[in-house]
Amino acid sequence: MNRQRLVVIGNGMAGMRTVENLLRLAPDMYSTTVIGSEPRGNYNRILLSPVLAGDKTFADTLLHDLDWYAEHGVTLHAGITVTAIDRAAQRVLTDNGLSLPYDRLVLATGSAPFMPNLAGIDLPGVLGFRNLDDVKSMLTAAQTYRHAVVIGGGILGLEAADALKRRGMDVTVVHRNGWLMDKQLDERAGKMLQTALEGRGIRFVMNARTQAIEGNERV
């Protein structure tokens, strides 16, 4: 039986769960190739906040190491990005010049962190919080600098703020609404959360919209 060529764009949790299920349910159906933009195996992004705080290591987050792909007959192209999909020719083109044919294509690219359209958003020292490289950059900053400002009082923003505070930084959270996690909590609960986090030494600027990020060579 000739195997169909399956290409999965995205080496995250959704894409790799798809691969796992296909290997379990139809182990002889596909010849599988996975493309991931990060130069590593698949890991649990939910645990990035504990890594930032020092409660976990990267090894604790790893779901599939590089050996797993080889052991299961999965070809992994790590550290590259897809530049185009030629649907007529059924090929995926990548930034390092690969042209990968497919019979079936899965798009599991996940999401990107929201970076506000602000003056100064591209300055060195302005970081998102999405992947392991972001965590490494924040840890480096925590070792070198003292002050951190977190824009956004949602779940990820507060997890980052708490982790950076535990790393020894002076942390201020700027939030555009009147209480924290306003998408999930009512006003009373949000203000109780703020009081608890203030007790840990985190400062808050509420009902404030960030207008610009200023700095010369970095912030």
Tens of pLDDT along the chain (219 residues)? 689 999 999 999 999 999 999 999 999 999 999 999 999 999 999 999 999 999 999 999 999 999 999 999 999 999 999 999 999 999 999 999 999 999 999 999 988 778 888 899 999 999 999 999 999 999 999 999 999 999 999 999 999 999 999 999 999 999 999 999 999 999 999 999 999 999 999 999 999 999 999 988 777
Task: For residue 150, list its beta bridge partners.
Answer: 173
Say if 120 falls within a structural domain: no
Read off the DSSP letter of residue 45. Answer: G
User: What gap in Å lies between CA 114 and CA 119, rounded to an integer?
Assistant: 15
Number of domains in the chain: 2
Going through the chain in order, the beta strands assigned E by DSSP cover 4-9, 30-36, 42-43, 62-64, 75-78, 82-86, 91-94, 99-101, 104-107, 147-151, 170-174, 203-205
Say if 33 falls within a structural domain: yes
pTM of this prediction? 0.86
Say if 126 falls within a structural domain: no
Say if 113 falls within a structural domain: no
Range of the domain at 75: 4-107
Say if 212 falls within a structural domain: no
Say if 112 falls within a structural domain: no
Report yes or no: 201 and 173 within 8 Å, Cβ to Cβ.
no
Shared domain for 103 and 137, answered yes or no, is no
Shared domain for 77 and 159, answered yes or no, is no
Say if 182 falls within a structural domain: yes
Show the tokens assigned to 183: 């998408």
pLDDT at 1: 67
User: What gap in Å lies between CA 187 and CA 198, rounded to an integer?
Assistant: 16
Say if 216 falls within a structural domain: no
User: What gap in Å lies between CA 11 and CA 40, rounded to an integer?
Assistant: 9
Shared domain for 141 and 87, answered yes or no, is no
Of 92, 107, 122, the domain-final residue: 107
Shared domain for 102 and 12, answered yes or no, is yes
Shared domain for 75 and 20, answered yes or no, is yes
Q: Nearest to residue 36, comparing CAs of 60, 12, 67? A: 12
